[in-house]
Amino acid sequence: MAMKIGIVSPYSFAHPGGVQGHIRDLAETLIETGHEVSVLAPGDRDEEVPSYVVSAGRAIPVKYNGSVARLSFGPLAATRVRRWLRRNDFDVLHVHEPLSPSLSLLACVLARSPVVATFHTAMPRSRALAAGRGIAQLVLEKITARIAVSAHARRLQVEHLGGGATEIPNGVKVSRFAEAPPLPGWPGDGGCLGFVGRFDEPRKGFAILLDAFAALVPEHPGLRLLVLGPGDTDKAVAGLDPEVRGRIDFLGMASDEVKARMLRSVDIYVAPNTGGESFGMILTEAMAAGTPIVASDLNAFRRVLDDGAAGALFPVGDADALAETIAKLLPDNELKKSYVAKADELLPDFDWSNVAERVLEVYTAAVEATGGTAARETPPAPVPL
């Protein structure tokens, strides 16, 4: 049976990220299967967003979870959330990162339909969470069902929030990446490494990759590094040997189509992240593109790569070990094929067609558990701001 679904993003769609990509692909998959979906997200009305996205006002950049998130909060945001909820009679409301100081928190408090919450972040116990315990409790009481994108994120529910969650991974549109043509002239004859992300954000580990790449260049004539993502390119390569710097190409911010083509254009995708990752969506995208992976040995990455069976792992932060791992993998076509073959076996679990079905099962259970109403009516007191 078709459902009317409201989805709330805490982050602006004008600045792409993993959560926004997850919400976009989920919404589009649900729409393709006959459901009615509206997504509420921070952003000005003149920003270019998909037709199913409703802008809830200006987003403010805030340091959050080791990154900079663009959030929307306050009386005006609350008014717009309330108006959106009243205008739509949703069968279920799906909020993402409900404890972030943004629209998801407000939507939880104001909801009158069953609430499903997805937790993406595997954040440690924090002062902010402790300080906002009263508001957090109000939010948690309104949530009917919880989803965590990884075992690490699910642990947050058990250890810090007093409850469990259904583990459903981030999805990937496999065909988008598997069928993408490589970029013209890539990967070339000397081998090519790839990196996607905000390369000036320390936890993404780009500096570690640069150190490893600099160590590889003398012994690998023609080896190149292709980088996609925002950041100050001059600052990123400052102090590098000209020979090393000349082998790095920055694509800047680009569309999902270009990202798919970029992942099809490299011999090895490298994920040198140092922490703060609850899943590793870029790994599943590289897997879908058929690209061998070298990743830091984070718990989230290890789980996606099946303890190293679907990609090579190296100790977190160790540039020398990263260089050694890449040097071993580059010429070993059989090992690369074995990683790709194992990734192909794992991909169905991450394909959006299957992931969305699991999410719908949670929606249905939430509606049945509540009879179609929120766990508690909106309190008469003002929303905490």
Q: Are residues 156 and 193 in the same domain?
A: no
User: Cα(285)–Cα(264) distance, rounded to whole angstroms?
Assistant: 10
Same structural domain for residues 25 and 131?
A: yes
pLDDT of res. 132: 53
User: Cβ(314)–Cβ(297) under 8 Å?
Assistant: yes
Q: 248-276, pLDDT tens digit by residue? A: 999 999 889 999 999 999 999 999 999 98
Q: Are 92 and 141 members of one domain?
A: yes
53 lies in a domain? yes
Looking at the structure, do residues 299 and 247 belong to the same domain, yes or no? yes
The pLDDT, as a whole number, for residue 153 is 76
**CATH number of the domain residue 281 falls in:** 3.40.50.2000
User: Phi and psi (nearest 5°) for 130?
Assistant: -70, -40
Q: What is the pLDDT of residue 81?
A: 96
Least-confidence region, from 149-153, 321-325, 344-348, 375-379? 375-379
Which runs of consecutive H residues, i.e. helices, occur in the chain? 18-32, 75-87, 103-110, 127-131, 133-142, 151-160, 174-178, 206-216, 233-237, 242-245, 256-263, 281-288, 299-304, 319-329, 333-346, 352-370
Give me the DSSP letters along 169-207. PPPB-HHHHHTPPPPTT-S-SS-EEEEES-TTSGGG-HH
Helix (H/G/I), strand (E/B), else coil: 238:
coil
pLDDT (0 to 100) of residue 373: 72
Domain count along the chain: 2
- Which region among 25-39, 112-126, 295-309 has the lowest average model confidence (pLDDT)? 112-126
213 and 138 in one domain?
A: no
For residue 360, the enclosing domain spans 4-171+351-370
Mean pLDDT of the chain: 89
Q: Return the percentage of the chain with pLDDT > 90, whole number.
A: 71
CB 268 within 8 A of CB 293: yes
The pLDDT of 151-179, averaged and rounded, is 83
What local confidence, expressed as pLDDT, does residue 208 receive? Answer: 98
pLDDT tens-digit series, residues 287-300: 999 999 999 999 98
User: Is 384 contained in some domain?
Assistant: no
Both 148 and 269 in one domain: the answer is no
Q: Is residue 182 part of a domain?
A: yes
Q: Is the pLDDT of residue 124 over 60?
A: no
How far is residue 85's CA from residue 112's CA, in Å, rounded to a whole number?
Answer: 8
Q: Are strands 67-71 and 60-64 parallel, antiparallel or unpaired?
A: antiparallel
- Rounded to an integer, what distance in angstroms lies between the CA atom of residue 26 and that of residue 355? 8
Q: What is the pLDDT of residues 56-112, one digit of tens each?
A: 988 777 765 556 667 788 889 999 999 999 999 999 999 999 988 889 999 999 999
Residue 44's pLDDT band, with cuts at 50, 70 and 90, is: confident
> Is residue 344 domain-shared with residue 356, that is, in the same domain?
no
Same domain, yes or no: 358 and 287 = no
CB 195 within 8 A of CB 262: no
Q: At what angle do helices 206-216 and 319-329 cross, to 10 degrees?
A: 60
Of 312, 313, 257, 314, nearest to 289 (Cα)?
Answer: 257
Task: Take residue 353 and report the two structure tokens written for it.
Answer: 């067609």
| 153 and 277 within one domain | no
- What are the tens digits of pLDDT across the range 353-383? 999 999 999 999 999 999 877 654 444 334 4
Report if residue 381 sits inside a domain: no
Question: Residue 126: pLDDT above 90?
Answer: no
Tally the C-alpha atoms within 13 A of residue 62's C-alpha that lie toward its C-beta.
Answer: 16
Model pLDDT for residues 329-355, shown as the tens digit of each residue: 999 999 999 999 999 999 999 999 999
Does residue 247 sit in the same domain as residue 306? yes
Which of 60-69, 133-142, 213-222 shows the lowest mean pLDDT across its residues?
60-69
Which comes out higher in pLDDT, residue 314 or 57?
314
Q: Which H or E run contains 149?
A: none
Instruction: State the pLDDT at residue 277.
Output: 85
Asked whether residue 66 is domain-assigned, the answer is yes
> 53-67, 161-175, 211-225 — which one is most confidently predicted on average?
211-225
Report pLDDT for 376: 45
CA distances from 185 to 46, 216, 219, 267, 276 (A): 37, 22, 22, 13, 34
